[in-house]
Amino acid sequence: MGKIRVLSDQVANQIAAGEVVERPASVVKELLENSLDAGATRIRVEIEAGGRKLIRIVDNGHGMGRDDALLAFERHATSKLRSSDDLLSISTLGFRGEALPSIASVARVSLETRAAEDEVGTVMEIAGGNLLRVEDAGLPEGTTIAVRDLFFNTPARRKFLRAEQTELGHVAALVTHYALANPGKHFELHSATQALLIAPAVANAGERLYQIFGRETFESLIPVAAEIDFARAGLPEPPPWKREQNYEAPEPGFVRLSGFVSKPELQKLNRNSIYVFVNGRLIRDKLILHAFNEAYRNIIPPTSFPVVLLFLEMPPQEVDVNVHPAKTEVRFRQGSFVHDFVRDSVRTALMNARPAASFFQALSGGARASESLMVDVSPLPGVDGAVFEPRALMVEESEGAIEPGDVANFELRERLVPASAGRLGFSGPGMAVGYEEAVGATLTELAEESVGSQATLNGLASLKPLGQLRDSFILAVNEEGLWIIDQHVAHERVLFEKILRERQVEAVQRQRLLMPVLVELLPEQIVTFAAIAEELERNGFEAEPFGPRTLAVKATPVGLEGKVLERVLEEVLGVTEKSAQVENEELRRTRIAASIACHAAIKVNMVLEPAKIDWLLRELGKTEHPMSCPHGRPIALRYSLRDIQRAFQRI
């Protein structure tokens, strides 16, 4: 008997579900896209237990007749394709015909639908891929689909789901994405306890941004609009060794870019605020993300990210959406051109909207007119300037050019250590880390100094301050040599350990506000707040929901107020999916404490009195880990006596 067997439809559907239905948010995505393809103008999403217990989507789209409703749950049954040629020009969000049968194979599904031309609607019930009931019923036009007990018959898959709040956060982020992409439609998202999003239809994307993000964020955004004709883009034909076998010259058609990007002063800690749609489809494309990185190069720090809402439109035949089961990745026929077009369009918008003189002032609050800094904003070498004209932006140098936590810059290192000799040493707990020049120390010398550096951890109090460098770094000396101490991260370490000690004995110092501070949150941030509210309270916050998407903060840890308070909340509520998956109670506690300490600490560009410097060095010497801040940055840079002697060629 042969070993190869044809799988049953039920097993095949469950395998397909493994590709299409990763988590509750995957179900919501597929059903939302079906509603949008059906022409719905009002969509309501209801979630219970993070989507495990219930996902219900109600729309007012064109609905289905009885025969279509039955066929919809057959594998590879779709109204959106007729032949293989249609795969080369897909204009709908859904098209595979796998979503409904895959979902129904791993959940209990009920469907209520009626087409406009029908007098009665159809009610269906399916559990684990088996049809249980189908009958006529009086229903309004549109479709209501409810998915209950997701993965009830595949317990191994159910075990891989995250906590309810995490799954709900993914759903909230997804619905927010589609609300942003479809401003002319009404969206609602409800959990079992609250309304996470109510977004009535508005006239355009700008109004939707204002509606969801609020006035402050909206006023920090720049409109982007660009268009170019593929046929006149001057795209060179690839050389033979790079040409694909089925290569064809681009067909006539336009590629358009519209939307908004953030000004340099609005920066985020992760990519969660980057929303990109290609022909109305939500995507996470590495090519487009790289284009944004290049557009903001030398404008914002490489560890920061902009806020982006952009819509890319092009002929359907220019983009292949059939390269990923979840349809979140796409492939462009002219990838390099699309990348450069997005990059240069965003870059041009940033340059046109700048006021050059106040760029760094906005970050630091002050600038010196006597010095200037050249910021390179030209495209990468070898890029054709037909779309974007290369320029250079002259801005006044600011004290804020020194980022909190930065150690000595290259120019300072050159003054301290000639390029031909010497090295800078970074002393850390139990080790000495540094870089060796051509005539650097031997490994034996490094080992000897690493042993000696242990004494420095307990000898910080012996430092004699000499003053400050640019009101940001403390210069001090002791018998070991010259020390440069970052005043911001030094104070951050002191506060961090103090917060953890006080939290352990429930003695965190807090300040009550005269008037509550109202902070607007995104739907996914509301979900995150519910998950960490208890930990925030133990760290000195007193906050509670005030309306569907507003947080009223009545008390805060000492040292946080105004814009600083809002930045801390945004930071602690903006944890990435990757971090959330590995975060336990201890990691969450230290993350929140580190954020509070960072924002409450002494800033760079701040003049310190001698008594304050003495106090800071003493307190730093009392900490358990005085050589690095909670985020891992070095606190102190030591230029030892041996380094000085070597630099002057005394040894």
String of DSSP letters for 561-586 = -HHHHHHHHHHHH---HHHHHH--HH
550: CB partners within 8 A, 6+ apart: 518, 519, 520, 521
Is pLDDT above 80 for 125? yes
What CA–CA distance (Å, rounded) separates 186 from 203? 11
Q: What is the value of pTM for the model shown?
A: 0.65
| pLDDT-based confidence at residue 232 (cuts at 50, 70, 90) | low
How confident is the model at residue 396, as a pLDDT? Answer: 31
Structural contact between residues 55 and 146, judged by C-beta atoms closer than 8 angstroms: yes
Q: Sorting pLDDT into bands at 50, 70 and 90, what band is 380?
A: very low
Measured between alpha carbons, how far is 160 from 228 in angstroms, rounded to an integer?
45
Query: Over 60: is that where the pLDDT of 367 sits?
Result: no
pLDDT digits (tens, 9 = 90+) for 63-82: 999 988 988 888 765 554 44
Output the 3-class SS for 202-242. CCCHHHHHHHHHCHHHHCCEEEEEEEEEHHHCCCCCCCCCC
Give residue for tokens 């301050």: 465
* Mean of per-residue pLDDT scores for the chain: 76
Quick one: pLDDT at residue 646?
86
pLDDT value at residue 504: 85
Task: Please give the CATH superfamily to which domain 506-600 belongs.
Answer: MutL, C-terminal domain, regulatory subdomain (3.30.1370.100)
List, for residues 518-547, the tens digit of each pLDDT value. 888 888 888 888 888 998 999 889 998 887
In terms of pLDDT, which residue wins out, 252 or 84?
A: 252
pLDDT average, residue stretch 207-232: 86
* Secondary structure (DSSP) of 582-613: H--HHHHHHHHHHHHHHHHSPPSS----HHHH
Is pLDDT at 399 greater than 90 in this prediction? no
For 205-232+252-355, CATH gives: 3.30.230.10
Dihedral (CA of 62, 65, 70, 75) sign: negative
Which of 408-412, 529-533, 573-577, 628-632 holds the top average pLDDT?
A: 529-533
Rounded mean pLDDT of 134-163? 91
Is-contact 190 182, C-beta < 8 A?
A: no
**150-207 pLDDT, tens digit each:** 999 888 888 888 888 889 999 999 999 899 989 999 999 999 888 999 999 999 999 9
Q: What is the mean pLDDT of residues 311-328?
A: 75
> Is residue 625 pLDDT above 90, yes or no?
no
| Predicted local distance difference test score (pLDDT) of residue 343 | 93
Quick one: pLDDT band at residue 398, thresholds 50, 70, 90? Answer: very low
Integer-rounded Cα radius of gyration of the chain: 29
What's the pLDDT at 231? Answer: 62
Res 578: pLDDT: 57
Q: Which helix (H) or strand (E) holds 348?
A: helix 335-353
Look at residue 335 in the predicted model and tell me its pLDDT. Answer: 86
Cα gap 149→642, rounded to integer Å: 69
Task: Using a pLDDT cut of 70, give the percent of the chain over it.
Answer: 71
Residue 424: which residues within 8 A CB-CB, separation 6 or more? Answer: 408, 413, 416, 417, 434, 435, 637, 639, 643
- Count of H helices and E strands in the chain? 20, 26
At residue 109, the pLDDT reads 96
Give percent of the chain with pLDDT exceeding 90. Answer: 35
- At residue 213 the predicted structure's pLDDT band, cuts being 50, 70 and 90, is confident
Count the Cβ atoms, other than its own, within 10 Å of residue 218: 17
Q: How far apart are CA 437 and CA 79, in angstroms?
A: 68
Contact (Cβ atoms closer than 8 angstroms) between residue 388 and residue 348: yes
- HSE at residue 128, side-chain half, CA atoms within 13 A, is 5
For 262-266, 367-371, 576-580, 634-638, which range has the lowest pLDDT when averaged over its residues? 367-371
CATH topology of domain 410-490+607-647: formyl-coa transferase, domain 3 (3.30.1540)
Instruction: Read off the pLDDT of residues 110-123 as tens digits, 9 standing for 90 and up.
Output: 999 999 999 999 99
Residue range 364-372: mean pLDDT, rounded: 35
Long-range interactions of 570-578: CB distance < 8 A, separation 24+: 570/269, 570/525, 571/269, 571/595, 571/599, 572/532, 572/536, 573/521, 573/525, 573/528, 573/529, 573/532, 574/268, 574/269, 574/270, 574/272, 574/525, 574/528, 575/528, 576/270, 576/272, 577/166, 577/170
pLDDT at residue 608, as a whole number: 94
For residue 451, pLDDT beyond 50: no
Please report the pLDDT score of residue 107 as a whole number.
93
Tokens at 544, concatenated? 């509670």
* Structure token digits, residue 495: 């506060």
555 pLDDT more than 60:
yes
Q: What is the mean pLDDT of residues 433-456?
A: 35
- Decide: 80 and 95 in contact? Cβ < 8 Å: yes
Beta partners for residue 255, in sequence order: 228
* pLDDT the model gives residue 161: 87
Ordered alpha helix ranges (H), 219-334 = 286-295
Check if the beta carbon of residue 438 is closer than 8 Å to that of residue 638.
no
pLDDT in tens, 27-68: 999 899 889 989 999 999 999 999 999 999 999 999 999 988
5 versus 301: the higher-pLDDT residue is 301
* pLDDT band at residue 484 using 50, 70 and 90 as cut-offs: very high
Alpha-carbon distances of 579 from 170, 583, 587, 628, rounded to whole Å: 14, 6, 10, 21
pLDDT confidence of residue 425: 32
* Strands (E) located in 371-451: 372-376, 392-396, 425-428, 431-434
Q: Where are the domains of the chain?
A: 9-199, 205-232+252-355, 410-490+607-647, 506-600
617: buried, middle or exposed (CB in 10 Å: 19+, 13-18, 0-12)? buried
Choice among 164-173, 420-429, 507-516, 569-578 with the minimum mean pLDDT:
420-429
For domain 9-199, give the fold: Heat Shock Protein 90 (3.30.565)
Is 463 exposed, middle or buried, given 0-12, 13-18 or 19+ CB atoms closer than 10 A?
Answer: buried
Residues belonging to the chain: 651
- pLDDT-derived band at 306, boundaries 50, 70, 90: very high
Q: At what angle do helices 523-538 and 585-600 cross, to 10 degrees?
A: 90
